[in-house]
Amino acid sequence: MTTPMLEIRDLHVRIEEREILKGVNLVVPKGEVHAIMGRNGSGKSTLSYVLAGKEDYEVTGGEVLLDGVNILEMEPSERATAGLFLAFQYPIEIPGVATMTFLKAALNAKRKANGEGELSTPDFMRAVKEAGSALHIDSDMLKRALNVGFSGGEKKRAEILQMALLKPKMCILDETDSGLDIDALQVVSHGVNALRDPNRSMLVITHYQRLLNHIVPDVVHVFSDGRVVESGGKELALELEAKGYAGFDEVAA
């Protein structure tokens, strides 16, 4: 059996004495796209932050393996250069940091970790321009400070732009569809689908079946009260949409 891209074993996480994740088990094999659905406050974003290495969370038990390597002791930057990418539910605005400066720093950090030299400015510009036009991102937006004054939809597109440039092997998309209009949803989904690859896996967190019509998942997981309570094919999303979460809470109880 090949090593899964992501394997989460019995992960327990606390914030300020309160247990939020209560034994998450999840396996995403290489090349697959998995969706996580679950009601507000069930711990989906917490899971994505813990995977990316945010502080303030206390991991009290369990393991997280990225391509077979335990990442829980790694710094966020090390996890990123190891191939993990989180598209934030709420991307952070950083005044004073130019978007292009940031993109270049991120790309070069990855190249450095891979033992490659820095990207030349023309090569960098070309890469950004290509990835940007595929996502309908105009170059004026990239001249601004990072995420500052971007609309909700522009922020989400900028996240996917970063993902396209950094070419991670494990992508976590936290509600990338929220705040997108119908056309933008098409554009972003197209961008994400273009990145589907046998050597890349994705974990797509969403509330809406609609997104999964565009980004068709291999597996859907239902998240409830800090753990995965049900997993199934893409039809599970339709079932959820019809029945709501109530039916699944019983499974958890």
Partner 1 sequence: MTMHVPVRLGPAELKLIEQLSAAGAVAAAERLGGAGLPTRRVEAYHYTDLKLLLRAVPELAGAAEAASAPALRVAGAYQLMIANGVVQETGTAPAGVIVGKSAGSVLTTRDDVVTRLNLALTRECLTLDLDGSVDPVIQIDRRTEGAAGHSTSAAKIFVADGGSAVILETYSGSEAAHLGNHATYLALGKGAKVTHITVNLAAKAATHFASNEYHLAEGAQLRTLIINAGGALSRTQLFPRYEGAGAHADVTGLNLVSDGQHSDITMDALHAVPHTSSKPLFKSIARGRSKAVVQGRLVVARDAQKTDAKLMSQGLMLSDEAEILVKPELEIYADDVVCGHGSTCGRLDDESLFYLTSRGIEKGEAETMLVRAFLAELVDPIEDAALNEALTAVIEGWLAGK
Ligand X SMILES: Nc1ncnc2c1ncn2[C@@H]1O[C@H](COP(=O)(O)OP(=O)(O)OP(=O)(O)O)[C@@H](O)[C@H]1O
Interface residues toward Mg ion, by CB under 5 A: 44-45, 89
Q: Which does 213 bind (CB under 5 to 8 A by kind): Mg ion, partner 1, ligand X, none?
A: none
Residue 216 touching partner 1 (CB under 8 A): no
CB of 207 to ligand X, least distance (A): 6
- Residue among 42 and 209 whose Cβ is closer to ligand X: 42
Rounded to the nearest 5°, which phi and psi values hold at 97?
Answer: -105, 115
- Residue among 97 and 238 whose Cβ is closer to partner 1: 97
Binding window for partner 1 (CB under 8 A); candidates: 4-12, 63-71, 93-101, 128-136: 93-101
Residue 52 touching partner 1 (CB under 8 A): yes
Residue 61 touching partner 1 (CB under 8 A): no
CB of 19 to partner 1, least distance (A): 22
Single residue of 113, 127, 195, 252 touching partner 1 by CB under 8 A:
113
Residue 162 touching partner 1 (CB under 8 A): yes
Residue 13 touching partner 1 (CB under 8 A): no
* Sequential DSSP letters for the chain: -PPPSEEEEEEEEEETTEEEEEEEEEEE-TT-EEEEEE-TTSSHHHHHHHHHT-TT-EEEEEEEEETTEE-TTS-HHHHHHTTEEEE-SSPPPEEEEEHHHHHHHHHHHHHHHTTPPPPPHHHHHHHHHHHHHHTT--HHHHTSEETTT--HHHHHHHHHHHHHHH--SEEEEESTTTT--HHHHHHHHHHHHHT-BTTBEEEEE-S-HHHHHHS--SEEEEEETTEEEEEE-THHHHHHHHH-SHHHHHHH-
d(CA 232, CA 252): 15
CB of 17 to ligand X, least distance (A): 10
- Residue among 137 and 204 whose Cβ is closer to Mg ion: 204
Single residue of 96, 115, 122, 198 touching partner 1 by CB under 8 A:
96
Q: Which residues bind partner 1 (CB under 8 A)?
A: 52-55, 75-77, 79-81, 85-86, 88, 91-92, 94-97, 101-102, 105-106, 109-110, 113, 145, 162, 166
